[in-house]
C-alpha cells in the first residue's frame, strides 16, 4: 500500500471538482488539472461555493473551509502530477483520450504512484493496457454528486495488483466514502443495474403516457427513491447517460441497455439536463 500525501485530479468538471472537494476537505494536498486556467478557476469557485454553503449551514468552520480551499493547487500541466501518490482521472468519457492520458501519466508519475480512473462504463482493463505498468491502474468510480453520494466502487482490472487496489480502497475510506470492491465487468455493480432501470423508466413514459412529473412522483412515493428517474437523468446529464447506455449495450448486447430513442433525440437537440438548463425539466 502507498501512503497518499498528495493526490492529483485530472479534469475538474462536475465529477472531478466533486472528488477534489472531498480530498481537500479530508486534509489531502490536491493538484487539480484543467485544460485552461479559466476552467480551473470555475471549478475552484464551484468548490468554494459548496464549502461556503456548509459554513452557512453550520456544518463547517470558516477557518476549516479556508484551509481546505488552500489545499487545492490548480494547473494546466500534467507534469505537475510528478509528486502525486495517487492520480484520479475524471476527463471526457471516451476510451482513446483516457488511454493517451494514462500513457502520459505513466511517464510523469513516480513508479509507486497509483493511477485511477473514474470511468463509469468503459473498461478499466482497456485503459490500463495503454500503459506498461497496468498493475497500478485501478477504477475509482464515484457517483454524482460526488460530495453527497456515499459510494465509491473500487474496480480491479485484469492486471491490477493488490497493493494499488487496497491503496485506492483505503483512500476512498479516508475521504469519507463507503467503498466496495468489484471487478471490471460492464457497468461494474451499480450502473449494471441502474442504467437499464433508468432506460426502462424512460420507456414507461412513452408507453404509459404519464408526465415526467407523475413518473417521478410515482417512483419517489411508491418506491422510496430519493429523487425521481427523470430528475436523476437530468442530474447525471442526458448525454452522459446516453453515452453510458451505448457503451454498456455495445458490451452486453442486452436490449435494455440501449438508450431509448427519446433520450437520444433529447441529447441531439441539446437538452442535456441541468447542465444545459433544460432536460425533462427546466432549470434557472
Ligand atoms: N457538489 C457539492 N455539494 C452539493 C452538490 C454538488 N454537486 N449539490 C448539492 N450540494 C450541496 C448543496 O450545498 C446543498 O445544500 P443547499 O441547497 O442548502 O446549498 C446540499 O448539498 C444538500 O443538497 P440537497 O438539499 O439537494 O440534498 P438532498 O438531501 O435533497 O439530496 C441528493 C440530494 C443526494 C442528490 C439526493 O437527491 C439523492 O441521493 N439523489 C440520487 C442521486 C443518485 O442516484 N446519484 C447517482 C447517479 S448515477 C451515477 O452517478 C453513476 C454514473 O456513472 C453516471
DSSP per position, 164-223: HHHHHHHHHHHTT-EEEEEES-TTTTHHHHHHHHHHHHHHHHHHH---HHHHHHHHHHHH
Verify whether ligand 1 is closer than 6 Å to residue 144 (CB atom): yes
Closest residue to atom 18 of ligand 1, CA basis: 53
Verify whether ligand 1 is closer than 6 Å to residue 210 (CB atom): no
Average confidence (pLDDT) over 77-93: 97
Verify whether ligand 1 is closer than 6 Å to residue 48 (CB atom): no
What amino acid positions are annotated as catalytic residues? 120, 141, 153, 191
**93 alpha carbon – ligand 1 mean position (Å):** 21
Closest residue to atom 25 of ligand 1, CA basis: 148
**232 alpha carbon – ligand 1 mean position (Å):** 10
The dihedrals phi and psi of 180, each to the nearest 5 degrees, come to -125, 150
Q: How confident is the model at residue 2 (pLDDT cuts 50, 70, 90)?
A: confident
The predicted pLDDT at position 1 comes to: 86
> In a 10 Å sphere around its CB, with 0-12 CB exposed, 13-18 middle and 19+ buried, how is residue 49 labelled?
exposed
Average confidence (pLDDT) over 180-206: 97
The residue to which cell 483505503 is assigned:
170
Verify whether ligand 1 is closer than 6 Å to residue 18 (CB atom): yes
Verify whether ligand 1 is closer than 6 Å to residue 50 (CB atom): yes
Q: How does pLDDT run across 29-78, given as a tens digit for each residue?
A: 999 999 999 999 999 999 999 999 999 999 999 999 999 999 999 999 99
Query: Cis before residue 145, ω within 30 degrees of 0?
Result: yes
What is the percentage of the chain residues whose pLDDT exceeds 90? 99
Q: How does pLDDT run across 205-242, given as a tens digit for each residue?
A: 989 999 999 999 999 999 999 999 999 999 999 999 99
**168 alpha carbon – ligand 1 mean position (Å):** 23
What's the whole-number average pLDDT of the chain? 97
**187 alpha carbon – ligand 1 mean position (Å):** 21
Q: How confident is the model at residue 164 (pLDDT cuts 50, 70, 90)?
A: very high
- Residue 180's closest CA among 206, 156, 144? 156
Q: How confident is the model at residue 263 (pLDDT cuts 50, 70, 90)?
A: very high
User: CA 177 to CA 233: how far, in whole Å?
Assistant: 23
Verify whether ligand 1 is closer than 6 Å to residue 145 (CB atom): yes
Q: How confident is the model at residue 196 (pLDDT cuts 50, 70, 90)?
A: very high
- SS3 for 274? helix
**148 alpha carbon – ligand 1 mean position (Å):** 5
The predicted pLDDT at position 220 comes to: 98
Q: Confirm if 220 and 174 have CB atoms less than 8 A apart.
A: no
Closest residue to atom 21 of ligand 1, CA basis: 148
269's enclosing H/E stretch is none
Q: How does pLDDT run across 119-143, given as a tens digit for each residue?
A: 999 999 999 999 999 999 999 999 9
- SS3 for 225? coil
The dihedrals phi and psi of 110, each to the nearest 5 degrees, come to -65, 160
Amino acid at each position: 500500500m502507498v501512503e497518499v500525501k498528495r493526490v492529483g485530479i485530472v479534469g475538474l468538471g462536475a465529477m472531478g471538482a466533486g472528488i477534489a472537494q472531498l480530498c481537500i476537505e479530508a486534509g489531502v494536498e490536491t493538484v487539480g488539472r484543467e485544460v485552461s486556467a479559466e476552467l480551473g478557476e470555475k471549478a475552484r469557485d464551484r468548490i468554494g461555493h459548496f464549502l461556503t454553503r456548509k459554513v452557512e449551514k453550520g456544518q463547517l468552520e470558516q477557518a476549516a473551509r479556508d484551509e481546505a480551499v488552500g489545499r487545492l493547487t490548480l494547473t494546466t500541466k500534467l507534469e505537475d502530477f510528478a509528486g502525486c501518490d495517487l492520480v484520479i482521472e475524471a476527463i471526457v468519457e471516451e476510451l482513446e483520450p483516457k488511454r493517451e492520458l494514462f500513457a502520459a501519466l505513466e511517464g510523469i508519475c513516480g513508479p509507486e504512484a497509483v493511477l485511477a480512473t473514474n470511468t463509469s462504463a468503459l473498461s478499466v482493463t482497456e485503459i490500463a493496457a495503454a500503459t506498461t505498468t497496468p498493475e497500478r491502474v485501478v477504477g475509482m468510480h464515484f457517483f454524482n454528486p460526488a460530495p453527497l453520494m456515499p459510494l465509491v466502487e473500487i474496480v480491479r482490472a485484469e492486471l491490477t495488483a493488490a497493493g494499488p487496489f487496497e491503496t485506492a480502497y483505503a483512500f476512498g475510506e479516508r475521504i469519507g466514502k463507503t467503498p466496495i470492491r468489484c471487478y471490471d465487468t460492464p457497468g461494474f455493480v451499480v450502473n449494471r443495474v441502474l442504467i437499464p432501470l433508468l432506460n426502462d423508466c424512460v420507456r414507461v413514459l412513452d408507453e404509459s403516457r404519464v408526465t415526467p412529473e407523475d413518473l417521478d412522483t410515482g417512483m419517489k412515493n411508491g418506491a422510496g427513491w430519493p429523487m425521481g428517474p427523470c430528475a436523476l437523468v437530468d442530474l447525471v446529464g442526458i448525454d452522459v447517460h446516453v453515452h453510458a447506455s451505448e457503451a454498456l449495450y455495445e458490451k452486453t448486447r442486452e436490449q435494455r441497455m440501449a438508450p431509448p430513442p427519446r433520450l437520444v433525440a433529447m441529447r441531439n437537440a441539446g437538452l442535456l439536463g441541468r447542465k444545459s438548463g433544460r432536460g425533462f425539466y427546466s432549470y434557472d
